[in-house]
């Protein structure tokens, strides 16, 4: 948390001001993540300070939205070009990337938990740089980077380069999905449901709808990645494994 806070200070992400009247103060909150190596071992712990924009209203105090997620088609295109032209693939990590974009709007945010100035407990921040939002800003700017070496792990996909192509595997993600479903020791099946079952309005309600949706979405992600990749790059020197 201290590393994250110091990075915010270094980037002059905010200006501490008295709390103004009649403004929408967004809440600040800490998120904690685990960073893993390609083999699944823990790499490091990471704390993220985010501005919770759930209290903002579209068209009133927020206009543009952005989801900082690269499209799968972009990943496949870059990797396909690198393999077909025998380019080396190097991996870089952008340090505090979303602290470098400029905000054109005035955004007021509460001081973060654990780092409130006791002399200014009723004050707030005016964000001068882009803090992490839940899809409520557009990132721009130049960033400091950390060299991670040759490309080997990215967005849950492990990569192994060979003289004939690039082998991609989602084994770690697939195993984690099986663990969440308590099906690590299950027997393989071509389809997860009875093909002769008849769907109707009546039936037993799912005990945990959130878990069910999460597992269904995870299966769709694995299927979509493997199917579209094989379909698009059958003629290229690429070998893909979805699990």
Q: Give the whole-number percent of the chain exceeding pLDDT 70.
A: 65
pLDDT in tens, 39-81: 777 878 888 887 777 777 776 666 666 666 777 778 888 888 8
pLDDT in tens, 128-149: 444 443 333 334 455 667 788 8
Q: How many CA atoms lie within 13 A of 76 on its CB side?
A: 18
**Mean local confidence (pLDDT), 89-116:** 73
Query: How many residues are there in the chain?
Result: 243
Q: Considering Cα of 130, then 132, then 135, then 140, what sign does the dihedral take?
A: positive
Q: Is there a contact between 215 and 180 (Cβ–Cβ < 8 Å)?
A: yes
Residue 145's pLDDT is: 74
Backbone angles phi, psi at 50, to 5 degrees: -125, 155
How many helical (H) and strand (E) elements, i.e. helices and strands, does the chain have?
Answer: 4, 12
More confident residue, 131 or 177: 177
Residue 119's pLDDT is: 59
Residue 235's pLDDT is: 42
Is pLDDT of 158 > 80? yes
Residue 116's pLDDT is: 73
Residue 165's pLDDT is: 82
Residue 65's pLDDT is: 66
CA distance 35 to 44: 5
Residue 118's pLDDT is: 62
Residue 127's pLDDT is: 52
């Amino acid at each position: 948390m201290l590393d994250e806070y110091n990075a915010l200070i270094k980037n002059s992400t905010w200006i501490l001001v008295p709390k103004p009247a009649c403004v929408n103060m967004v809440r600040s909150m800490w998120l904690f993540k685990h960073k893993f190596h390609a083999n699944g071992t823990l790499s490091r712990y990471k704390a993220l300070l985010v501005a919770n924009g759930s209290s903002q209203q579209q068209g009133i105090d927020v206009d543009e939205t952005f989801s900082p997620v690269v499209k799968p088609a972009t990943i496949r295109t870059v990797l396909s070009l690198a393999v077909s032209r025998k380019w080396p693939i190097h991996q870089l990590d952008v340090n505090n990337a979303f602290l470098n974009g400029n905000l054109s709007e005035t955004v007021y945010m509460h001081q973060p938990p654990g780092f409130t100035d006791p002399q200014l407990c009723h004050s707030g921040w005016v964000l001068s740089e882009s803090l992490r939002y839940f899809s409520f800003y557009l990132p721009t700017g130049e960033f400091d980077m950390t060299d991670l070496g040759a490309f080997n792990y990215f967005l849950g996909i492990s990569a192994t380069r060979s003289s004939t192509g690039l082998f991609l595997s989602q084994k770690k993600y697939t195993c984690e999905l099986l663990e969440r479903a308590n099906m690590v020791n299950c027997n393989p099946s071509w389809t997860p449901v009875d093909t002769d079952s008849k769907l109707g309005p009546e039936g037993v309600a799912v005990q945990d709808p959130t878990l069910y949706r999460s597992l269904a979405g995870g299966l769709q992600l694995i299927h979509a990645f493997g199917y579209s990749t094989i379909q698009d790059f059958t003629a290229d020197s690429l070998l893909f494994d979805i699990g």
